[in-house]
Structure 1
Amino acid sequence: MDIQHATAWFLAYAGRFRQQDARDQENIDLKIHHSLRVLAEAEKLAEHEAFEPHIAFLTQVGALLHDVGRFRQYDTYKTYSDPLSVDHGDLGREVLEAEQVLEDLEGTDRAIVLEAVRLHNKKQLPDNLDEHLGMITRAIRDADKLDIIPVVLASVAPGAPDNPVIRLGLSCEPDRFTRSVLDQVAAREMVEYTSMRFVNDFKLLLISWSYALAYGWTRQQMLARGYVDRLFELLPATEIFVHLREGVIRDLQGGFGDEKPE
């Protein structure tokens, strides 16, 4: 297997889920393009973090295939909300095993990619991950987050076309947010999807991802691309959010002290 053959399989598989409705097809296309961009982000991350070539290759395969479960999820449930449907990481592993697309990989490598796909969307990773599995899974998670943030930013910016699938059906009330969501971010915790009620909560969830970035290159990109600033610009201009922004930027610049985030 090489990345070109994996990409050809991925595109052919996604093509099985062509939708009759134009909006539904847009949502399928969204995940196709997202997966290809996550592959590109993972390639850059592996290069900047000096992954050895074989680990970089497995990272690329996992990045390309990380959301393969999304197609069946959307085809069946017409949503990308896991709480309202199925866990798309678990489903992705199931798809890859059923399709036997990784059969050309050596057994250990195949197991790593399958488990990385299963784990990529989990709130926290197990503490006892194998070294290579941990490296690859964290890289995929970082690359995934780097690409999702601008997609959501484009959908929640003032005047953007409304797509309830992207905003997860959350209420669009410009000044409202859930206090428990804000408290989770202030405590440097990942926001629980089930806590969200408003689109501002979704923005806060994306900000909380700052604390889940595992690699220095990804944290640098989060700042260099202006994602933190743009997210806070879309939140109410109150003192509490000004202070929160200062703390998030300070933590990103400082690399979270001596603790390695999940």
Structure 2
Amino acid sequence: MDLQYSKKAFENYLNDYDRKNEKIMLKIVHTYGVMECSKKIAEDMKLPAEDCELAQLIGLLHDIGRFEQLKCYNSFEPGTMNHAAFGAKILFEKRLIRCFVEEDKWDEIIKTAIGHHSDYCLKGITNKRELMHAQIIRDADKLDNCRVKLETAIEILLGVTAEQVGMSEITPEVMRQFKNHKSILLETRKTKMDYWISYLAYFYDINFKATYESIRDNHYVDKIIGRIPYTNPDTGKQMEQIRNEMNLYIQNAIKENGNYK
């Protein structure tokens, strides 16, 4: 496995897309961020060198379907395209994978991890190594998405200003899912605050202690909550409840060595 070769192939792949598009650039930076997060998680787990490199390769390719989604629809909305399934399809049905890695010995692991990285939850993966890499990419994706949510303009993320987000309500169904320590079902999001809550609720679907420790050490819960001015007083009160509950959940998850439910 030659990661430098893979990166060069990825840069060549990007030549078909508009790097001046802010959403395209967001995803390019995110891709390399996820690679680094994958490397850190794998190294913290003390995995063999091959698995550390494989985790990075999966990170490099995990969102390859996003670029076509943005080219066609200029949207991240799941209703426009299942980018994970599309990414796995172009890599393995159209054999694009051979542009990035010559060997085929890791194909099933890569296909499984990429194809399932944005699922609501992981189900039906019986091979332990495939499951491990699917879990690593999901954690790494969430970790770098914390950076994305803090560095990217709210208008790009949600299509409205931060002030408009803070004026909206959290719908009861979304709040119910959060209090039940569940990720938010995407189709239940109605308001912009529902979307913002969903970016916090995915901390309920973290697999490894190292990931929780990164969330805690970088104060991601407090920082993400702090980006929005909550001019709706009811929303402001709910966000303080969410802050306290999520921080406590993360502390308990670390004590339980990850996989806390």
TM band (smaller chain): 0.7 to 0.9
Aligned to 2:243: 245
Write the distance in 2 (CA, Å) between the matches of 1:170 and 1:111.
42
Q: Residues 252, 82 of structure 1: CA spacing in aligned structure 2 closer, same or farther, 3 A cutoff? A: same
Measured against aligned partners, the alpha-carbon deviations of 1:42-84 in whole angstroms (never above 9, x if no partner) come to 111111111121211211110110000011111111111112x
State the secondary structure of the residue aligned to 1:29.
Answer: helix
Write the distance in 2 (CA, Å) between the matches of 1:91 and 1:139.
20
Q: CA deviation at 1:244?
A: 2.6
**Does residue 182 of structure 1 match 2:178?**
no
Q: Is the contact made by 1:153 and 1:231 (CA closer than 8 Å) also made in structure 2?
A: yes
State the secondary structure of the residue aligned to 2:182.
Answer: coil
Q: Is the contact made by 1:189 and 1:211 (CA closer than 8 Å) also made in structure 2?
A: yes
Q: Structure 1 residues 6-15 or 190-199, which shifts more?
A: 190-199
Q: Residues 243, 103 of structure 1: CA spacing in aligned structure 2 closer, same or farther, 3 A cutoff? A: closer
Aligned to 1:126: 123
- For the aligned residue pairs, the C-alpha RMSD in angstroms reads 2.4
Aligned to 1:260: 259
Structure 2 unaligned spans of 5+: none
Residue pairs, 1:57-76, within 5 angstroms: 57-76=53-72
Write the distance in 2 (CA, Å) between the matches of 1:61 and 1:173.
36
Residue pairs, 1:207-226, within 5 angstroms: 207-226=200-219
Structure 1 unaligned spans of 5+: none
Write the distance in 2 (CA, Å) between the matches of 1:186 and 1:47.
33
**Does residue 94 of structure 1 match 2:68?**
no
Write the distance in 2 (CA, Å) between the matches of 1:201 and 1:161.
14
Q: What percent of counterpart residues are identical? A: 22
Aligned to 2:224: 231
Measured against aligned partners, the alpha-carbon deviations of 1:135-186 in whole angstroms (never above 9, x if no partner) come to 111111111111112212334xxxx4622xx226799341322221111111
Write the distance in 1 (CA, Å) between the matches of 2:229 and 2:114.
32
Q: Residues 14, 102 of structure 1: CA spacing in aligned structure 2 closer, same or farther, 3 A cutoff? A: closer
Aligned to 1:138: 135
Residue pairs, 1:161-172, within 5 angstroms: 162-163=155-156, 166-167=157-158, 172=164
The partner residue of 1:104 within 97, 102, 105 is 102
Aligned to 1:11: 11
Q: Is the contact made by 1:89 and 1:119 (CA closer than 8 Å) also made in structure 2?
A: yes
State the secondary structure of the residue aligned to 2:47.
Answer: coil
Q: Is the contact made by 1:6 and 1:61 (CA closer than 8 Å) also made in structure 2?
A: yes
Write the distance in 1 (CA, Å) between the matches of 2:120 and 2:159.
17
**Does residue 204 of structure 1 match 2:202?**
no
User: What residue identity is the alignment partner of 2:14?
Assistant: A
More helix per residue:
2
Q: CA deviation at 1:211?
A: 0.8
Q: Which runs of 4+ in 1 moved over 6 A?
A: 168-171
Q: CA deviation at 1:205?
A: 0.6
Aligned to 1:49: 45
Write the distance in 2 (CA, Å) between the matches of 1:173 and 1:206.
13
Write the distance in 2 (CA, Å) between the matches of 1:71 and 1:60.
19
Q: CA deviation at 1:230?
A: 1.6
Q: Is the contact made by 1:185 and 1:208 (CA closer than 8 Å) also made in structure 2?
A: yes
Q: CA deviation at 1:102?
A: 5.2
